[in-house]
Amino acid sequence: MALDDVPSIWHTPSMLEAIARNNAGAVVRLARLAAGLTQGELGTATGYTAASISRMERGKQPMRDMVLLRRIAEVLGIPPRLLGLASRHTSSRAYESVPLSPGPATRVAGTLPSGEEGEDPVRRRKLLAGLATTAATTVLGTAPASAGPTLSGLEDLLLHRDGPTSGVEPTSHSVAAALAASRREFGACRYDALARALPARIALAQALGRQGAAEQSATTVAELYNTASRLCIKLGEDGLAAVTADRALTAALSGAGALTIAEAHRMVSSSWRRQGHYVRATDVAVTAAQQLAADRTVPEIERLSVQGNLYATAAYTAAKRGDRHTAKELITEAEATATRLGHEGQSGGTAFFGHSQVLLHRISISHLLGDAGQAIEHARRVDVRQLPNPERQARYWIDVARSFEQWSKPDRCYRALLAAEEAAPQEVRRGSVRTMATGLMRHDRGLPGIRAFANRVGALV
């Protein structure tokens, strides 16, 4: 039997049915099984968790991240068009005959497609070899990335409501100092220190409320939970982020001011977005911005700062769901707010906003909408030195890297990632960076040090 006569996964009844129904999750699952990979192994190869891969395959998590989809397509050999992607040039022609609109297919109940149990053992060995990390330290001569920040203390606080005692007297001064320290640690990307300290600081602010300082307690608890939500999002803990965002809004509504309430709504919006509820997330942010615009009880500079961030967040969310028109309208509204503000402003030490923040969002939005060249043009207008802290600087470089990756410029993508690492080492230990690093290792001959970088960010762990 000739090699071309071997039955292909792409012509099995189950695969033909998945293609006919445009069920990308089922296509991924069948291709993964045919390659002999577990969900965990595919997750490692693409920079995602096994749980995320499972949700994608079951249709519980939207598959709209073009970079991730392309990575999955490359790892599993899936024709890009079956995942809604534009095809790239490839030296392999093995799947050019896969139908775009196959005819009716008969599903054989209770059976797996032929070839799923080890169709290509050589391919599996190659894939697993790319995932192996047993001798990484010896080969690379550098220590692998350390374990990420633990959120167990925050989880205990959310479960039991009572956080650990810090031994600090709950006074107006000590609570304000705790909030300021949390903001500094987040801005400096000291996520490990922040994760350790947050539970006791939240408990301290709660204790202040029991002593009668209800307004300061409500405001500080809400702002600390807002910070906790940002931290959870950074670490990819979307479930925890949803809970902390809810706690922030609950605390804010119990006695905090309009600015704190609006910022809590922004975190709720971000949480909804992370769970794939894009329309609801956009509506939460826009409604909060409109309500704040009508409130004249707060200083205009702080009001405009928070309002502008809400519009920018909503614009990013609209772009995330592929709604180009709404994203453009909302980022234009954010730009108009920045013009009214007239300079880089902030509210409460966290809501930095101005034209540079609008530009940062324009980079992200252009990338999400597939306009890599436009994203880089926006990036060239940003003076990185003027960004307020290492967290914003590192986020800028990571978005630049994403855009260069989308533009198929691996050398510039790598340089941008190195700049992000220089600005904030802990910021690059994120799933999106690990995904890019995994892809860049294919160009290791032209990118000196890429394997060591991948090891540092956890892509080889």
Local confidence band at 257 (pLDDT 50, 70, 90 cut-offs): very high
**Given a cut of 90, is residue 159 above it in pLDDT?**
no
Task: Quote the CA–CA distance of 435 and 179 in Å, as a whole number.
Answer: 33
Per the prediction, the chain carries an average pLDDT of: 82
3-state secondary structure of 345: strand
R_g (Cα) of the chain, nearest Å: 24
Total structural domains within the chain:
1
pLDDT at 108 > cutoff 70:
no
Q: Is position 274 within any domain? A: no
Decide if pLDDT at 461 tops 50. Answer: yes
Interval 243-264 mean pLDDT: 95
Residue 327 lies in a domain: no
| Residue 116 belongs to some domain of the structure | yes
Report residue 337 CA to chain centroid gap.
26
Separation between Cα atoms, residue 85 and residue 90, nearest integer Å: 14
Note every long-range contact of 180-183, with CB atoms under 8 Å and residues 24 or more positions apart, other chains counting: 180/349, 182/224, 182/227, 183/227, 183/349, 183/350
For residue 192, tell me if it sits in a domain: no
For the segment 398-442, what is each residue's pLDDT rounded down to a tens digit?
999 999 999 999 999 999 999 999 999 999 998 899 999 999 999
345 has which bridge partners? 353
Q: What's the whole-model pTM score?
A: 0.68
DSSP codes, 134-160: TTHHHHH-SPPPPPPPP-HHHHHHHHH
Tens of pLDDT, residue by residue over 9-31, are: 666 767 777 787 778 888 888 88
Q: How confident is the model at residue 185 (pLDDT cuts 50, 70, 90)?
A: very high
Task: State how far the alpha carbon of 239 is from the alpha carbons of 158, 211, 429, in Å.
Answer: 12, 32, 19
How far is Cα 455 from Cα 459, in angstroms, rounded to an integer? 6
Q: What ranges in 21-109 are assigned the alpha helix state H?
A: 24-35, 39-46, 50-57, 66-76
Cα dihedral: 46, 50, 51, 56 (round 10)? 50
Task: Out of 108-117, 138-147, 272-281, give the one with best mean pLDDT.
Answer: 272-281
The answer on pLDDT for 87 being more than 60 is: no
Please tell me which residue, 4 or 356, carries the higher pLDDT value.
356
Within 10 A of 234 (CB to CB), how many other CB atoms are there? 22
Angle (CA) 231-56-75 rounded to 5° is 100
345 phi, psi to nearest 5 deg: -120, 175
89 in any annotated domain: yes
What range does the domain containing 56 cover?
3-132
Q: Report the alpha-carbon distance of residue 287 to residue 272 in Å, rounded.
A: 14
pLDDT of residue 30: 86
- Would the pLDDT of 135 be above 60? no
| 309 in a structural domain | no
What is residue 52's predicted lDDT score, i.e. its pLDDT?
77
Q: Is residue 92 part of a domain?
A: yes
Domain for residue 434, yes or no?
A: no
CATH of the domain at 80: 1.10.260.40
367-388 mean pLDDT:
94
Alpha helices in 65-135 (DSSP H): 66-76, 121-131
DSSP 8-state class, residue 80? G
The pLDDT value recorded for residue 286 is 97
What is the spatial distance between Cα 403 and Cα 379, in angstroms, rounded to a whole number?
10
Average pLDDT over residues 26-40: 83
Q: Coil, strand, or helix at residue 189?
A: coil
